[in-house]
Structure 1
Amino acid sequence: MSFIVVERPRENVALVTLNRPERMNAMAFDVMVPFRESLEAISNDNSVRAVVITGAGRGFSSGADQTSAGSPPHIDGLTRPTVALRAMEMLDDVVLTLRRMHQPVIAAINGAAIGGGFCLSLASDIRLAAPEAYFRAAGINNGLTASELGLSYLLPRAIGSSRAFEIMLTGRDIDADEAARIGLVSRIVAGEDLLEEAFDLAQRIAMFSRPGIELTKRTLWSSLDASSMSQHMNQEGLGQLMIRLMTDNFEEATLARREKRDPVFRDTR
């Protein structure tokens, strides 16, 4: 049985499914290592223009596997402290891999997104939720910190600091309705329609210019780290100028509107 299933449900769209439903797609290393490898391969697949990730069964991902997490790779001869460091580094890299993928990533959150699973959803670019979805920063409930895998960085930027502090310090669940109300997810979609809605969204994104989409994703993420608005506006302007000067996309969009058709972007001159 493969713990990661990669499919191509629509043209230019890849679907990546965490496929260990009996463990609520927990983040054991035998799941996360192939997940990261699959994401890296898809990022370099130029036929893929948008990516959807989801979980099999009732959950998106329940976070750390508390029963059988396995071991990270390449740890022969290492002692426990170093193994722990390598394990955390490997899990961190899964979240960073999602963030740096060339294509936009849509999380179709079908159920529980707990702990590290919460982090996976936040590292995605767009989040859609089924009514059954819920989120929990679980570390605090387990006698640890609620900060892991970038959660304390990503959550305040997604929903604001006060809400993030309360959610992380209390360990309470956020159901789908609240998640939509506070902007944690874009919208709620009936469970049976969740993937089709995600595929429709992915295909709409795939219609546009490839460098336009890639630069927009990069610019949105870099805005979270920008030290000033003027610095960030410089980056925005350079991206806009690059595509405007190096492609005929703007002329094609103008012509397509005049001819009442969809544009076909060549991304070149």
Structure 2
Amino acid sequence: MSVLLVHEEGQVAWLTMNRPERLNAMDETLVTALREYMQALYHRPEIRVVVLQGAGRVFCAGLDLKERAPAGRRAAADVLKHQRSIRDIMLAMRRCPQPIISVVQGSASGGGFGLALASDIRLATPEARFNAAFIRIGLTACDMGVSYFLPRMVGSSVASELMLTGRFLGAQRALALGLVSHVAEMPELLTEAKSLVADMLRTTPMGLSLTKDCLNFTIDAPSFDAAIAMEDRNQVLSSQSEDFQEGIRAFLDKREPSYQGR
């Protein structure tokens, strides 16, 4: 059975981490499957939105520590190669033009926390909880992009609290902090995910991908002027498309637009 179930339905990819017996902990096979799929998205414009979830009662418990139990010291070069093989998943998630929605149930710990944070939108069940588990097993909490994403999402004080202690962040507090955008039981959560997907598919392909692109860059923009310059560039590019002309016509005709990706 595949450790990553892939269901591509039209322009949407539904990905399910499928190791429920191990709480979807990432072994080498799952790491490879996630990395290769996310990296390939950059060259797959026919896929416009991705939904990521975990099978069973947990989103992802992080790395499979039983598989990676230390067996003496390893060469630094080997450890770095292994580290990069995992962090490349998060890099690919941010670089791909498709928005990624994570549906989180149970725990998103360690690398699972990194997957959730690297997504564009996070939805959570009431029992969902998040933590930077790395610091609890002798490592630092700065791993898998957590030290980059978390302070930007919840502020430095809360990020420091969570990362210096490894404490869990519950769903309701995550909602209050803006880390997740919706909390509900799984049936309602999947309905919300489908609603978000439907709204995204009502946009133009260029408009959707350039919006994600601009959000990624402007969060680190050195100035307001730099952010405005990126916005100006994107609007000029979008306005030259046939889809923009169709959008204007549909608005004036009071009908749904029919975008062709041109």
Normalising by the residue count of structure 1, what TM-score does the alignment of the two structures yield? Answer: 0.91
Does 2:138 align with 1:143? yes
For 1:1-269, list aligned pairs within 5 A. 1-8=1-8, 10-69=9-68, 80-244=75-239, 246-268=240-262
Report the Cα offset of residue 267 of structure 1. Answer: 4.3
CA distance, structure 1, for counterparts of residue 261 and residue 61 of structure 2: 41
Secondary structure of 2:162's partner?
helix
Instruction: Check the 8 A contact 1:26/1:63 in 2, yes or no.
Output: yes
After superposition, the C-alpha distances for 1:66-103 in whole angstroms (9 at most, x for unaligned) are 101399xxxxxxx6321101000111101101111121
Report the Cα offset of residue 132 of structure 1. Answer: 2.0
* Structure 1 residue runs without a partner (length 5+): 72-78
Partner letter of residue 169 of structure 2?
A: I
Partner letter of residue 65 of structure 1?
A: D
Report the Cα offset of residue 266 of structure 1. Answer: 3.5
Instruction: Check the 8 A contact 1:50/1:203 in 2, yes or no.
Output: no
CA distance, structure 2, for counterparts of residue 46 and residue 237 of structure 1: 23
CA distance, structure 2, for counterparts of residue 257 and residue 156 of structure 1: 40
Partner letter of residue 254 of structure 1?
A: I
Normalising by the residue count of structure 2, what TM-score does the alignment of the two structures yield? Answer: 0.93
Instruction: Check the 8 A contact 2:39/2:89 in 1, yes or no.
Output: no
Partner letter of residue 265 of structure 1?
A: Y
CA distance, structure 2, for counterparts of residue 229 and residue 56 of structure 1: 42
Instruction: Please identify, of 190-199 and 235-244, the stretch whose mean Cα deviation from structure 2 is larger.
Output: 190-199
Report the Cα offset of residue 203 of structure 1. Answer: 2.1
After superposition, the C-alpha distances for 1:228-256 in whole angstroms (9 at most, x for unaligned) are 11112111101111111x22444433332
Give identity over the alignment, percent: 40
Aligned residues: 259
CA distance, structure 1, for counterparts of residue 43 and residue 56 of structure 2: 28
Moved over 4 A (4+): none
Secondary structure of 2:59's partner?
strand
Partner letter of residue 263 of structure 1?
A: P
Partner letter of residue 55 of structure 1?
A: G
Instruction: Please identify, of 34-43 and 119-128, the stretch whose mean Cα deviation from structure 2 is larger.
Output: 34-43
CA distance, structure 1, for counterparts of residue 205 and residue 234 of structure 2: 13
CA distance, structure 2, for counterparts of residue 28 and residue 99 of structure 1: 22
CA distance, structure 1, for counterparts of residue 2 and residue 46 of structure 2: 23
Instruction: Please identify, of 196-205 and 16-25, the stretch whose mean Cα deviation from structure 2 is larger.
Output: 196-205
Secondary structure of 2:6's partner?
strand
CA distance, structure 1, for counterparts of residue 143 and residue 88 of structure 2: 12
RMSD: 1.8
Secondary structure of 1:60's partner?
coil
Partner letter of residue 192 of structure 2?
A: E
Partner letter of residue 50 of structure 2?
A: V
* Structure 2 residue runs without a partner (length 5+): none
Secondary structure of 2:123's partner?
strand
CA distance, structure 2, for counterparts of residue 44 and residue 69 of structure 1: 32
CA distance, structure 1, for counterparts of residue 140 and residue 53 of structure 2: 26
